Amino acid sequence: MKIQKTRNDIFDNSSKIIKKFSLNIELIELDTLTTFLSNIHTNFITRFNDLKTHYISFTLFSNPFKLQFNEIPLKFQAEFKNLDIYKCEFLSLKTNNDKINFFKNLPWEFIKFKNNCLKIDSYFGGSYICEILFSCLKFRKDKYSTRINQDTLFNVLRVACSNDLVPNFEKIIKN
């Protein structure tokens, strides 16, 4: 195992770090550390196997023309033949938001590609909102604003996370 071969390097480097920062750490048995690192490695591999299983879906979203026809799942092949008309337009897109809008504006005959786009977008939509929320929270709750109350913070975060919403002015005016 690779960890077994490089464990001397690991301990040499870690002992340098301990000396550099004057850390007071008791020595750990070599076998315990090796087992611990092996477990981390195994968990890392199992966590990222999901990316391999979703590779085709991600590629159909990011660039369906990158795949060979025989790599495309059967349910997408009929639509893919017709998607060739839009190849130049798709390849000119720069951002993922452009790609989302591209798939959103495709005719309904490309329903499987549209659904795949929605599925991929939903994977990342929630994490994007969380990133915005915590960035705003970090910005708002700093050492200078220590006396912000819960209601004010809630309203600030609510506005920060909903800035992409566009009000329906016609409906508001009618009511």
Virtual CA dihedral for 104, 106, 110, 115, nearest 10 degrees? 0
Outline where DSSP puts E strands in 1-154.
none
Residue 33: domain span: 2-53
User: Domain total for the chain?
Assistant: 2
For residues 47 and 64, state if they share a domain: no
25-31 average pLDDT score: 58
For residues 46 and 85, state if they share a domain: no
Is residue 167 a part of any domain in this protein?
A: no
For residues 11 and 77, state if they share a domain: no
For residues 46 and 82, state if they share a domain: no
Please report, rounded to a whole number, the percentage of residues in the chain having pLDDT higher than 90: 10
Final residue before a domain boundary, out of 53, 75, 96: 53
**Residue 146's pLDDT band (cuts 50, 70, 90):** low
Model pTM above 0.85: no
| Residue bearing tokens 């979703």 | 54
Taking the chain, what is the end-to-end CA distance rounded to the nearest angstrom? Answer: 70
Average per-residue pLDDT for the chain: 76
pLDDT tens digits along 69-87: 999 999 999 999 999 889 8
Residue 110: count other Cβ atoms within 10 Å of its Cβ: 19
Return the biggest CA–CA distance within the chain.
75
For residues 84 and 151, state if they share a domain: yes
For residues 22 and 85, state if they share a domain: no
Is residue 153 a part of any domain in this protein?
A: yes
Burial of 120 (0-12, 13-18, 19+ CB in 10 A): buried
CA distance 76 to 92: 22
Asked which of 90-99, 101-110, 141-150 is least confident by mean pLDDT, the reply is 141-150
For residues 92 and 10, state if they share a domain: no
Would you state the pLDDT for residue 17? 57
Final residue before a domain boundary, out of 53, 71, 87: 53
CA distance 155 to 139: 14
Is residue 145 a part of any domain in this protein?
A: yes
Asked if residue 152 has pLDDT above 80, the reply is no
Instruction: Report yes or no: 140 and 159 within 8 Å, Cβ to Cβ.
Output: no
103 Cβ partners below 8 Å, 6+ apart?
61, 110, 113, 114, 116, 117
For residues 120 and 97, state if they share a domain: yes
